[in-house]
Structure 1
Amino acid sequence: MTRSFRRLVRLVVPLPGDLSLAWSTIKGRTGGFVGSFIAVAAGSAVITACGMLLVSGLGTGVTPERYAGAAVVLGGEQSFWLDESAEVRYSERVTLPAEKVAAVAAVPGVQAAIGDVNVEVSVLAPDGDVVAGPDGFPVLGHGWSAAALGPFRVRDGRVPSAPDEVVLDADLAARGDVSLGARVQLVVGSLPSSYRVVGIATAPGDGLDRQSAVFVTDDQATTLSGRPGRVDAIGVLAAPGVAPEQLAERITAAVPGVVAHTGAGRGDVEFLDVGDARSLVVETAASFGGTMVLIVVFVVASTLALSVRQRRRELALLRAIGATPRQIHWMIGAEMTVVSSVGAVVGAIPGVLLAYVMRAVFVLAGVMPPDFQMRVGLLPVLASLILCVLSARLAGWLVARRLANVSPVEALGDAAVEPRRFGRMRVAIGVLLIPLGLLLTWGNVAAPGDSAADTAASAVLLFVVALGCLGPLLLRGAIVLFGSRLNRQSTASGFLAQANARANWRRLSSATTPLAMGVTLAAVQVFGASTTIAAAQHQIEDGLRADHVLTAPSGAGISPEVVDAVRGVAGVSVATPVARMRVLLTFPSEDSTATKVFAAQGVAPERLSETMDLAVNEGDIAELRGDAVALSRIVAETVRANVGATIELRLGDGTVVEPRVVAIYENGLGFGDVTLPNDLVVAHTTTRVATAVLIRSVDGTDPVALAGTLRGALERYPTVQVGDREAFLATSGSGGSGDWALNLLFQTVLLGYIAIAVVNTLVMATAARVREFASLRLIGASRNQLRAMMNGEARIVVLSALLFGLLATIPPLIGISLGLTKSPVPSISLTGLIAIVAVTIALSWGAIRMATRYAMRPALIDAIGGRE
C-alpha cells in the first residue's frame, strides 16, 4: 500500500484515536454541533424515505387472488421501454392472441394452460340495486374454465352451461342477497342482460378483497369482451415437481411475445393498478430521491461549513501552537464522521414514518392501491448513512483545506474578521447561469413545445443555482441599497442592525440564500400550477358547447348503442361520444428518437364544433376519420409535426398506428393533447366504451324538458346518467392520474427540508453570537435594544429572500405562460403569494427571535469569557 493511498484511506476512514478525540471535542462544544446534527438527521430521513419507496416498488406488490393457484401467469408486454432501465406503462390492458394458450400448453412441465378474459360488469340484484365489489373494487366476469386458476369451488348449484347462466362468488351473492335460482342483470358497458344464477362459488384462501367475480360460459365471456381471438392473461398450472421459476424460463424461451410472472409478480397481471403503481413508485422515488440527495449534500455541506467557520479562531490557535495541516484535516474529518453517522442513524427512524406518510399521499392521489405493501429494510438506511457521511466528510475537507493551508499568522488574522474575498469561479458560474436560464425560457433554446413542467424544472434549477452562487453578493448589494430604509440610523438598534449586516454579510447570507432558493421553488410550483389550472379551466369553459352530458359510473362507460338512441330523441341536435386514454408519441429528437405520454380523447367529428370547440389553428377537424389525428399546438411543436405529416403513435393497449395529422388546435389543456376518431379509441380501451356523450339541443328547446325526455329514452340503460356541463368537467383530463398531488407531495418534502435548513442555519448563526451580545450589553445596550437590532437584521433577511426569490421566478413563469397560453402574463394565486410571504416571515423571524433569546440567557461574565 502506497503512502498516498494510506493517506487517502485515513482521510475517509478515521482511526479509533481520531474518533475518540473528536468525541471529546463534540462533548465540549455540543451547541456548535447541534445544527450540523439536525441537518444530517433531516437529510437522512428524506433519503431513507425515498429509498424505502424505491425498494418497495422494486420488490413488493399485492398477493394474487384469482391467480393464487397458478404457478406462472403470462401477460402481454405492459410497458414501452425507453431504454434498458426506463419504462412507460400502457394505460390499457395489453392482450395476447388466444392461440398462444395451446403453444404454452405444449411446453414441457406445463400441466395445463388456461386463457382468462376479464369483463368489467355491473351486477343488478333482483330488486334493481347495483351490487358493488368490496370497498369499491370492480366486479369482473370470466369464463368458467378460468375458475381453476383460483381455484374456485362450486359450493351450491352447478357450473354454467348456457349463455344466460351465471355463477357468483359467495361474498358477492351475500352482499346482493342473491340466492340460487334468482335472476340478476349483468350490465356490460351500458347494455343489461338477464342471467339465472345456477351456482355459488367459494373463492380461494381468505376470499376476494380487491374484486368480485362472476363466471359465465367461456363462449359467452368471449362475446361479452368484444375481443374474439384475444385473452387478457394465461394461467399456467405446473406439473408435479416443476418449480415456477424454472417453468417460467422454459415458457418465455419457447413462446415469444409473452411476459412470465411468478410469486407476488402474478398480482401485476391480475391487477393492472398494482403494476402501474410499482412502475410509478420506482420512477418517482428514484427521480425525486436523486434530486434530494444533491440538495441534502448541499445543505449538509453548507451547515457543516458554517459550523467549522464559527470555530476559525480556535482552529487558528491550533495552527499557531504547531498543529499541522494534516492534523487539522484529521480532527475535522473525525468530527464530521461522528456527527454525520449518528445523525444519519437517528434520522432513519423518522425516515420510516415519512415513507408511510408519502405512501398515504400516493394512495390519496389514486396512483397506488391501498393494499400496496411497504418494505422496511436496512438497505435504505445504509445508503442514507453512506451518503450523509460522505457529504459531511467532503464538506469538512473543503472547509478545513483553507484553514489548514495558510500560515499560523495569517490564520489568526483571518479569524479576527470575516473574510472578504469571494471566489471568482463562483461568481462567473452564477453570472453565466442567468442568461442561460433566460435563453431556455424565452429563446426557444429548448425543444419547442416542451411541457410547462419540463421548462420550469430546467429553468428554475438554473436560477436557483445562480442564487446559490450569487446570493451573498446580492445580499451585500441589498444591504447597501435598502438597509438604511429598513433600519433607521437615528436609533441605536437601527444603527447596530445596519452595521452588523454590513460587517457580517457573508454570515447573514448563509440564511438568506437558502431561504431565497426555497421561495423560488415554492413560487414556481404554486404559480406554475395556478397558471396551468387557470388555462385549462378557461379552455374547457369556453370550448364546451354542450347543454347536457351523459355519464356512467367509473368502469361502466357508455356503449355505442346509447349514442344511437339519444340521437333520435326530439330536441337533440348533436350527440358527440367522447372516449379517453393515454397515448405514447414517438418522434425524432436530435440524433435519435424520443417518446412522450399525452392525454388523448376520441370523438366523432360530425358537427363537433357544436358540442366541443377545440380552437383549430390549422387544418379541418371534420377530416378526423380512419387513420387521422389532430394534435394540440404544444404537441405539434414538440414533435415538429405539421398538417399532412404522419406520426408514430402507440395507443393505450400498445397498438402502433401511423395516423396523418389533419388539424392542429389550441385547447389541448382543457380537452386533451391528442384527438383521435372515437371508434379507434374505443376499440383499443380495456372496457371498449366511451367516457361521456356531449349533447347539444335544438335552439329554443327547454333544457329541463329535454333532460326528462333523455331520462325516459335511457330507461333501458340503467347505468347511464343525464347531467349538465359540470358532469363533463368531472370526467375530463387524463384520467385523474394524481400528478398534481404527487408534485405537491414532493415539493412539500423538498421545501420542508429547505425550511428546516433555513431555520437551522439562522439559529446556528444567531446562537453563536453570545459573546457579541454580551459585549454590547457591557457597553450599555439593553435587552430590548438587542432584540430590536435582531428584528432589524430579520427585516433584511426577509426582504432580501423575498426580493431575490420572487425575481428569480419571473423568467420561468413567463416561459410557462407563453408555452401554455401564448400570453406572457402568468396566473398568480393571491392565496399562494400570501402563504409564501407568511411562511418566509414566520421561518426567519421565528428562528431569529428564538435564537436571540437563547444567546442572551447566559450571565454577562460567563458569556464574555466563554467560547465563541
Structure 2
Amino acid sequence: MVIRAVRRLIGIVIPLPRDLALAWSTIRGSKEGFAGSFVAIVVGSAVIAACGVLLQSGLSNGVTPERYAGAAVTIGAPQSFWLDESAEVRYRERVTLPADTVAAVAAVPGVASAVGDVSIQVSLLAADDDVVTGPHDFPVLGHGWSAAALAPFTVDQGRAPTGPGEVVLDADLAARAGLVIDSTAQIVVGSTPAAYQVVGIAAAPATLDRQSALFFSDDQATRLSGRPDRVDAIGVLAAPGVTAEDLAERIQAAVPEVVVHTGADRGDVEFLDVGDARSLVVESAASFGGTMVLIVVFVVASTLALSVRQRRRELALLRAIGTTPRQIHGMVSAEMTLVSLAGALVGVLPGIALAYAMRGVFVLVGAAPPDFALQVGVLPLLAALVLCVISARLAGWLVVRRAARVSPVEALGDAAIEPKKLGKVRLTIGVLLIPLGLLLTLGNVASPGDSAADTAASAVLLFVVALGCLGPLLFNGVLRLCGRLVNPGTTASSFLARSNTRANWRQLSAAATPLAMGVTLAAVQVFGASTTLAGAQHQLAEGLRADYALTAPSAAGVSPEVVDAVRQTPGVAVATPVARSQALLTFPSEDSTATRVFAAQGVTPDRLSETIDLAVTQGDIAELRGETVALSRIAAETVRGTVGETIELRLGDGHLLNPRVVAIYENGLGFGDVTLPNDLVVAHTTAQVNSAVLVSAADGADPTALQQALRGAVERFPTVQVGDRERFLAAPGVGGAGDWALNLLFQTLLLGYIAIAVVNTLVMATTARVREFAMLRLIGASRDQVRKMVSGEARVVVVMALLFGSLAMIPPLVGFSLGLTQSATPSFSLLGVIAIVAVTVALSWGAITVATRFAMRAAPADAIGERSC
C-alpha cells in the first residue's frame, strides 16, 4: 500500500511518459484551447523572472567602494529600524557613531588601524561663482585628511592640509574647477562660503565615479561637521595575514552595536542611496513577485476553466468510456506541465528585458542610483520556471476536479447543458462581501488614521471578488432591464445580437466580469492617486501664506544663519525656516506595538500662521518648543495621540525621543503629518540645513523693494536663491512621489496581466464559436451581419464592464477620500477616465473583432465538418 501511495504521488507531481504522450496529442489537436493558458504563463514567467532578477540584485549586488576601496572592513551604525525579523524601515538621514567607537575598534586584535570618517556636504564655487558639481552631478564631499588613507589617496602635488584654512582636492575636481597649487578655493559649507588655500592635489587609486572629494585638516573637518563627538563611518585596515571576513567577525563580536561590512557591501556605508535602493528593491520585488504567483494561479485557472468548458464533450466521452478520475487528473496535469514548461521557458528572456525596464523606472523616480546594476543569474530564472509550472499544475488541479468527479452517466448530460443557476456557496459569498466592503469603506469599522484610507483602498478586493461571484447574475439582471437600450437597432444584426446575448448571457458575462474587475482595480489605483495628489496640492496652496521663499540646491540646503540675516531685513514680518525629514512613530497595536513612517517638517512656532496655516483643530502650535510635537489628524488618529500626552518618536537619523503632543492639525497631506521644532529636526538631518525659508512681508511693504532687500541680505550666501511662493509650491513635496510612482509601476504590471487574461478569455470564447458562425452563414447571414452581431455583443460587454466597474469603485474611493481629506468627493481626472474607457473598449472590441475574423476564415461547410470530426 505504501508503494502504491508513492507511485500515485509521483504520478501527480511528475507526469508519467504515457501521460505526457497523450497530453502532447491533445495539445496538438486543440491548440486554441491551450493558447490562452500558454500566453498567460509566458507573461507571468516574464514578470516573475523580472522580480527575481531585481530581488537577487538587491540581495547580492552593490556599488564598488571608492574612498573606502583600501579598507578591509567598513563600519557604520544601524541604518534601519527593524519592524520584525524580516521587515525594516531605512532611516532617511545618516545614523552616526560615537567618536569613541573608533578606539574600541582599533583595540580589536587584527586591526592595523581604524580611521573615523566624516562626510561634509560642500559646494565648490568656480571663478564665476557657479557651483562645481561632482561627476554625473553627484555631490562634492569634504573629509578629514586621515580618511585619505582608506582609498588610499596620494598627494601628487603639494602636501597634506595642516591648518584650518588649507584644503586638498582630488585631481579631477581640481581640473574641473580650474584650481592649482596655492590658488584660492571658495568652499560653501551649509550656506556660508569661506576661502581656502589649495595646498595639495591628490590622486585616488581608481576613478571617483560617484563623488568628488576634498580634504580638510582633521580638526577643521570635525568642526565643520557640526558633530565633534560623532563620526559617520569607520574604515579599518587589516594587519598582515588577517582576512577581511575574520576581521569582520572579531569586530562584530567585540563591538556588537555596530554594523560591519566587507566586499561590495562596503559601498553601502559610503553611499547611503545604494543601501536605500537595495532595501527598496528587495522589498518591492519580493512583495510583488509573491503577489504575481497568486495572480498567475488565478489567471491560468480562469483560462484553463474556459478551455475545460470548451472540451466538456471530450471529457464527457472519456468518462463515459471508463476513464478514471485519476486518469483525467493525470492527463490535465501532463497537459499543464508541457504548456507551462514551454510558456515559462519562452517568458524568461522577456523577463530579463522587463527587469532592465523596471530598473529604469526605479532610476527615473529616484528610488535607485543610475549606477545600480542588475545581476542576471540562473537562480531567479530557474525560480520563475519552477513557480510557473507549480502554479499551472495547481490551477489545473483546481479546475479539473469537477470534471473528474462526475459519474460517467452524468458526464454526457453535463456536456449538453450548461448550468443556468449560480452555486449557492458562490452566491452567498458574493452577497455577504458587499455589506462587508461597505462597512470597511464607509462604516468607520476600520482602524482610524491612515489605516482608514488604506483599508478603504484595500476593500476594493472585496468588491472585486463580489463582482467575480455575482457577475453573471448582475449581467443577466441588467440585460433583461436595459438590453434593448444597448442594442436599440431593428436590423437583423441587432436582433441577432439581442437574441444571442439573452441566450448566451453566461458566456458573455464570463467576458464582462473580469473586464469589470480590471476597471475597478484600475480606477481605484488611478483616482486614489489623483485624490491624494489633489488633496495635498489643495492643502499646500491654501495653507501657504508666505510671500517669498528662499531655497538652495537640494544638496546644499539653507543653513540656520540665513534665517537670522533675513529676519533683520527691513520689510520682513516673519521668516520661518522649514526643514524636511521623516519620523517613525511607534504606538500600541492590539497585543504588541506597531511603527509607521510619516513625513516630518521642522518649523519655528513664532507667528507660524502668517507663513504656514496648518489648520490647527486642537491645542496651540505656539507651544512647539523643546521636545514637543504637533500631529496631523491622520497621524494622531493612527497612533491614538491626544493633546497633552507623549508619544514614542524616532527622528530621521534614528534618535529616540518622547515628545509631548501640543497640537493637532488638518493640513498633513500638504505639509507633513509630523511637525517638530526646527532646531530639533535640523540637528538630526545629515547636512544639518533647512529645505527653505518662508518669508511674509510686513503690512505696507513695497514688494519690489522687499525682494531687492532680500537679495541683498542673502548676497553673502551664494547658494541661496530668492523666489516667490510659487518656488516653494513647485518644490518636491513631503510625500513619497517615488513610492507612488513605483506603486503605479507595479499596479500597471498587475493590471496589464489582468488585461491579458481578459483578452485571453474573449479570444478563446469567440474562437470557440466557429460552428455557430458557420451555421449562421449557412442559413443566410452574411459575413458583415455576423460581424455586426458580434459588435453588438461586444458593446454589451463594454457597457456592462464599465457599469459594474464604476459601481464597485465608488465605495472604496469615497472611503479613501473620507479617510484622507474628510471629503466624500474623490478627485477624478478626465485623462484617467478617458484612458480607462479607451483601454476597456480597445481590449474588448479589439479582441472580439480579431477573434471573429479568425473564426470565420474557413468556409462554413468546412468549419462545421472540422468541428464535427
Please report the TM-score for the alignment, with normalisation by the length of structure 2. 0.98
- Residues in 1 aligned to 2:278 and 2:556: alpha-carbon distance in whole angstroms: 25
Q: Are residues 41 and 376 of structure 1, via their aligned partners in 2, closer, same or farther at CA, if it must alter by over 3 Å?
A: same
Distance in 2, matches of 1:201 and 1:451, equals 54
| In 2, Cα distance between equivalents of 1:429 and 1:56 | 42
- Pairwise CA distance, 1:161: 0.8
State the 1:856 CA deviation: 0.4
CA deviations over 1:508-550 (Å, ceiling 9, x no partner): 2222121111101110111111111111111111111101110
Counterparts of 1:344 and 1:203, CA distance in 2 = 47
Q: How does 1:249-648 map to 2 (within 5 A)?
A: 249-451=249-451, 454-488=454-488, 490-648=490-648
| Offset at residue 732 of structure 1 (A) | 4.9
Report the Cα distance in structure 2 between the residues aligned to 1:214 and 1:832, rounded to whole angstroms: 49
- Separation in 1 of the partners of 2:399 and 2:542? 59
TM superposition shift of 1:610 = 0.5
CA distance in 2, matches of 1:856, 1:504: 19
- Looking at structure 1, the residues matched to 676 and 694 of structure 2 have their Cα atoms a distance apart, in angstroms, of 16
Is this contact kept in 1: 2:142–2:213, CA < 8 A?
A: yes
Alignment of 1:176-215 (within 5 A): 176-205=177-206, 207-215=207-215
Aligned equivalents of 2:788, 2:812: Cα separation in 1: 37
Aligned position for 1:164: 165
Deviation at 1:8, TM superposition (A): 2.7
1:167 is paired with a residue of what secondary structure?
strand
Which string of whole-angstrom CA distances, capped at 9 and with x for unpartnered residues, describes residues 586-605 of structure 1? 00111110000000000000
Q: How far apart, CA to CA, are the structure 1 residues paired with 2:451 and 2:354?
A: 30
1:78-117 matched pairs, under 5 angstroms: 78-117=79-118
Q: How big is the shift at 1:489?
A: 7.3
> What are the ranges of 5 or more consecutive residues in structure 1 without an aligned counterpart?
none
Q: Is the 8 A contact 2:143 2:214 kept in 1?
A: yes
Amino acid corresponding to residue 752 of structure 2 in structure 1? G
Relative to structure 1, is the Cα distance of residues 489 and 706 closer, same or farther in structure 2, using a 3 angstrom cutoff? closer
Determine the C-alpha separation between the residues in 1 that align with 2:527 and 2:737. Answer: 20
Shift, 1:761, TM fit: 1.2
The residue correspondences of 1:678-693 to structure 2 (distance < 5 A) are 678-693=678-693
> Equivalents in 2 of 1:761, 1:837: separation in Å?
19
> 2:712 maps to what in 1?
712
Matched residue type, 2:273: D
CA distance in 1, matches of 2:848, 2:330: 33
Letter in 1 for 2:115: I
1:43 alignment counterpart: 44
**Preserved contact between residue 453 and residue 817 of structure 2 (Cα < 8 Å):** no
Paired letter, 1:106: A
CA contact (8 A) 1:367 1:737 kept: no
The Cα shift of 1:735 comes to: 6.7
- Paired amino acid for 1:819: G
Q: Decide whether the 8 Å contact of 1:73 with 1:262 is kept in 2.
A: yes
With over 3 angstroms needed to count, the CA separation of the structure-2 counterparts of 1:529 and 1:90, relative to structure 1, is: same
Change over 3 Å in CA distance of 1:457–1:245 after alignment to 2: farther
Once the two structures are TM-superposed, the CA of residue 81 in structure 1 deviates from its matched residue by 0.2
CA contact (8 A) 2:649 2:657 kept: yes
Q: Partners in 1 of 2:378 and 2:48 — Cα distance?
A: 13
User: Cα deviations across residues 146-199 of structure 1 (Å, max 9, x unaligned)?
Assistant: 001001111111100111000000110111111111101110100111100011
Unpaired stretches in structure 2, ≥5 consecutive residues: none
TM-score by length of 1: 0.98
Is structure 2 residue 127 aligned with structure 1 residue 129? no
**1:779, distance to aligned residue in structure 2 (A):** 1.2
User: Is contact 2:23-2:334 (8 Å) kept?
Assistant: yes
Give the Cα–Cα distance (whole angstroms) in 2 for the partners of residues 142 and 150 of structure 1: 12
- For residues 729 and 211 of structure 1, the distance between their equivalents in structure 2, rounded to whole angstroms, comes to 30
Residues 309 and 399, structure 1, Cα contact 8 Å, conserved in 2: no
State the AA in 2 paired with 1:123.
L
Contact 2:52 2:285 in 1 (8 A): yes
Displacement of 1:453 in angstroms is 5.8
Task: Look up the match of 2:10.
Answer: 9
2:752 alignment partner in structure 1 = 752
Q: Which whole-Å CA distance do the structure 2 matches of 1:99 and 1:293 have between them?
A: 49
Cα displacement (A) at 1:736 = 5.4
> Would you say the 8 A contact 1:488–1:495 is kept in 2?
no
Report the count of equivalent residues.
867
What letter matches 1:164 in structure 2? G
Aligned twin of 2:663 = 663
Corresponding residue for residue 863 of structure 1: 863
Cα shift at 1:12: 2.2
Aligned to 1:789: 789
Distance 1:689 1:170 in 2: 28
Q: In the aligned structure 2, how far is the partner of 1:702 from the partner of 1:279?
A: 51
Deviation at 1:831, TM superposition (A): 1.6
CA 1:4–1:495 in 2, change beyond 3 Å: closer, same or farther? farther
| Structure 1 counterpart of 2:15, one-letter code | P
Higher mean alpha-carbon deviation, 388-397 vs 795-804, is at 388-397
Structure 2 equivalent of residue 61 of structure 1: 62
CA distance in 2, matches of 1:419, 1:793: 21
Q: Tell whether the 8 Å contact from 1:72 to 1:262 is kept in structure 2 after alignment.
A: yes
Q: Which amino acid aligns with 1:711?
A: R
Matches of 2:654 and 2:696, distance apart in 1 = 34
Distance 1:231 1:737, change over 3 A: farther
Q: Could you tell me how far apart the structure 1 residues matched to 2:72 and 2:452 are? A: 46
> Using the alignment, how far apart are the partners of 2:28 and 2:440 within structure 1?
50
Aligned position for 1:20:
21
CA–CA distance in structure 1, aligned partners of residues 114 and 642 of structure 2: 48
**Structure 1, 553-562 or 614-623: larger mean CA deviation:** 553-562
Q: Which deviates further from its counterpart, 770-779 or 427-436?
A: 427-436
Aligned partner of 1:447: which letter? S
CA distance in 2, matches of 1:389, 1:452: 38
